[in-house]
Chains A and B, each alone.
Chain A
Amino acid sequence: MEKQYDSPPAAKVSAEVSREELRAVMTALEPDQLISTKEHHHCPRRQLTRTEMILFWALRIYLVFMFGVVLYQIWTGVR
């Protein structure tokens, strides 16, 4: 389920928006640059393939292992 902004700032501000400002905003910005559009529409989630999952996990394990190496170096450095 998609999460929404917990505290949308928009409602209050929109009450102060003039017709000119509204027109200017709609002309100047692309539709999906509007905050209200971003709030309501998120990129759909994609399914990861098996290879992609393996790559993700391999790099995650690499990262954990290498952080261990860094900690080992700090430990030997301190000693």
Chain B
Amino acid sequence: MKETKTLPELRRGTVPRSNLPNNQPTSDAAVVITHEDIDRAHDRERVSATRARHGIRPRLRLFWLLIGPGILVMLGENDGPSMLSYAATGARFGVGFFVPFIVLTFAMACVVQEMTVRLGAATHRGHAELIFDRFGPFWGWFSMVDLMVGNFLTLVTEFIAIRAGLGFFGVRPAVAVLGALVVLSVALMTHRYWTWERIILGAAMFNLVFVPVALLTHPHWGSVGRALVTWRPLPGGLTQETVLILLADIGATVTPWMLFFQQSAIADKGLTTRDIRFGRVDTVLGAALATIAALATLLATAPLFAHHMSVANFEAAEFAQALQPFIGHWGAALFALGMFEAGMVAAITISTSSAYAFGEVARRPHSLNLPFRQGKSFYLVLLLEAVAAAGLVLIPGIPLVYIVLLVNVIAVLAMPPALLFLYMLVNDREIMRELVSPRWANVLALGVVTILVGAGLLFGISVIAPNALALVGGR
């Protein structure tokens, strides 16, 4: 039986209201149910049915149904350049200042991403769409261009990681890159957000492969504990290189694409204000897993520091080879595999965030629930961006490690403007109503912005006037 109904008719009775102001009953426009609506409704039905039951098992099932975007975004951000930054940190500075610093950066990521959870659940709209609608096309396109440029550069580095990771096993660069593109395309063929999310979640768990690698190096846990408490040592003090690594590590955890991805994914998954608590748990759990993987990578390469090995121009595969004497062939193979996984998962999530943002701003259909025919522009943006980035990686003679570190630095620099939009949106009572940020959340968010701007300025000083670092305790 075919039918369409008017909005007021359909809103009678049981349909819950969200707190978005534009959710006013409007004219008598006919409601048209799309394929995307039906898929999302099936997912929501399962959530509602599970929520209605009591006991531990239904709670665990509810948790399973609602987690995803937070873990994906956090483990997705443990990407190729991030893992390479952590590896370079461990190899250059060993166990010391950067151990607690990495924990701090993930705490910052939690503060920022929690805001996107509330925003996505309250408005059911993506980040780019809200910026475009609330602040106008001028700022909307600006933030969109920032995102696209940053995402494209980051995607290039993901394929660098994929190429380098598989290079350890003797896979030729062209084969590695093409294979990655095939995997990315296959993941999209599900045309179902839920299935796509579960597949990528499973793949993202391989990020923890760095944990056994770290254990193989037999870390000195006393030093790790001492570093966590004292934030020391920092070998070499505050130098230009320290500042670069500092920014690269911040950029490894807090970047603009994460804001866009998590909010859009929450809207695509169909989370509502009732799910915010689970969204927060999802985000914190993701951050905890990502912190473990990041610290494991640092610990895994710390023996290179202890043995005074120069790592100035290491690629991912070279890190694996250099570690071989300490962790054996299998340990090195796991490290290389971890690099491949980091690049692969991030290539998928980052290109998806670009496609979401493009669809939201260009008012084109944008959902992983769409069949290809109905979401052509969404899937094409996603695939074309990935193909272009993959092609660049095959150009010989590019200084890969340098590019990787700088991409993270660029991410940090682009973050304050993106955070300002986010900050204003979560404090916008007209769209958030009772879900506006409480004072403590605003204080934390402003603290993150201050740290990011401060780190950016420190980087600027270290590049333009390296001697001036002495004024802030460096040399």
Which positions in A face B, CB cutoff 8 Å?
Answer: 3-11, 13-19, 21-22, 24-46, 48, 52, 55-56, 59-60, 62-63, 65-67, 69-70, 72-74, 76-78
Are B406 and A74 neighbours in the complex by a CB distance under 8 Å?
A: yes
From DSSP, what is the main secondary structure of chain A's interface residues? helix
Q: How far is the CB of A29 from chain B (nearest CB, A)?
A: 5
Q: Select from chain B the residue with minimum beta-carbon distance to A32.
A: B23
Q: Mark B178-209, 1 if CB is under 8 A from A, else 0.
A: 00000000000000000000000000000000
Contact sample, A vs B, 9 pairs, CB 8 Å cutoff: A6-B363, A27-B45, A30-B17, A38-B124, A44-B21, A62-B456, A65-B460, A69-B460, A72-B463
- Contact between A25 and B38, CB atoms less than 8 A apart: yes
> Chain B nearest CB: distance from A13 CB in Å?
5
* Chain B residues within an 8 Å CB radius of A56: 139, 417, 420
The answer to whether B402 and A13 touch across the interface, beta carbons within 8 angstroms, is no
| Contacting residue for B123 out of A13, A43, A45, A72, CB 8 A | A43
Known contacts A21-B38, A32-B18: A9-B374 contact under CB 8 Å? yes
Cβ contact of B420, chosen from A19, A42, A55, cutoff 8 A: A55
A16 and B135 contact, CB distance less than 8 A: no
Are B136 and A43 in contact (CB-based, < 8 A)? no
Contact between chains at A69 and B125 (CB < 8 Å): no
Complex contact B33–A60 (CB within 8 A): no
Q: Is the CB of B29 within 8 A of A17?
A: no
- By a CB distance below 8 angstroms, the chain A residues around B133 are 42-45
Q: List B residues at the A interface (Cβ < 8 Å).
A: 1-5, 7, 10-11, 14-18, 20-24, 26, 29-38, 40-42, 44-45, 48, 123-125, 129-130, 133-136, 139, 142, 146, 270, 272, 362-365, 370, 374-375, 399, 402, 406, 409-410, 413-414, 416-417, 420, 424, 428, 430-431, 453, 456, 459-460, 463-464
Query: Are B413 and A63 interface neighbours, CB within 8 A?
Result: yes
CB pair A69–B459 under 8 Å, yes or no, is yes
Min C-beta distance of B379 to chain A, whole Å: 13
Nearest-CB residue, chain B, relative to A44: B22
Asked whether, in the complex, the Cβ of B22 is within 8 Å of the Cβ of A13, the reply is no
Smallest CB separation, B269 vs chain A (Å):
11
Contact between A33 and B364, CB atoms less than 8 A apart: no
In the complex, which residues of chain A have a beta carbon less than 8 angstroms from the beta carbon of B129? 42
Pair count A-B, CB < 8 A? 199
The answer on a CB contact under 8 Å between B33 and A13 is yes
Please report the C-alpha to C-alpha distance between residue A52 and residue B129 in the assembled complex, in whole angstroms: 19
Q: Take A13-B33, A44-B22, A69-B460 as given contacts and tell me if A30 and B134 are in contact as well, using a CB distance cutoff of 8 Å.
A: no
Q: Which residues of A contact B20 (CB under 8 A)?
A: 32, 43
**Contact between A33 and B464, CB atoms less than 8 A apart:** no
- The answer to whether A17 touches B33, judged by C-beta atoms less than 8 angstroms apart, is yes
Q: How far is the CA of A76 from the CA of B250 in the complex (A)?
A: 23
Contact partners of A70 in chain B: CB under 8 A: 406, 409-410, 413
Contact of A13 among B34, B44, B135, B364 (CB under 8 A): B34
Q: From known contacts A30-B15, A73-B406, infer whether A40 and B26 are also in contact, taking CB-CB under 8 Å.
A: yes
Complex Cα distance, B44 from A33, in Å, reads 11
Nearest 4 Cβ contacts at the A-B interface: A9-B374, A10-B32, A28-B41, A28-B44
CB contacts (< 8 Å) of A24 on chain B: these are 38, 41-42, 45
- For B409, the closest partner residue in chain A by CB is A70
The answer to whether B406 touches A9 (Cβ under 8 A) is no
Q: How far is the CA of A74 from the CA of B71 in the complex (A)?
A: 34
* Chain B residues within 8 Å of A66, by CB: 413, 456, 459-460
B370 touches A9 (CB 8 A): yes
| B34–A35 CB distance below 8 A | yes
Partner of A43, one of B3, B4, B10, B130: B130
Closest A residue to B449 using CB positions: A59
B233 to chain A, nearest CB (A): 27
Q: Are the C-beta atoms of A43 and B431 separated by less than 8 Å?
A: yes
Residues of A close to B24: CB separation below 8 A: 41
Report the bound CA distance from A56 to B24 in whole Å: 31
Contact present for B18 and A63 (CB under 8 Å): no
A4–B33 CB distance below 8 A = no
A16-B2, A24-B45, A70-B409 in contact; A3/B37 too (CB < 8 A)?
no
CB < 8 Å neighbour of B22 from A3, A19, A21, A43: A43
CA distance A43 to B23 in the complex (A): 9
- The answer to whether B364 and A7 touch across the interface, beta carbons within 8 angstroms, is yes
Listed residue (A7, A9, A13, A48) with the most chain B CB atoms within 10 angstroms of its CB: A9
B374: nearest chain-A partner, CB-CB: A9
Residues of A within 8 A of B420 (CB): 55-56, 59
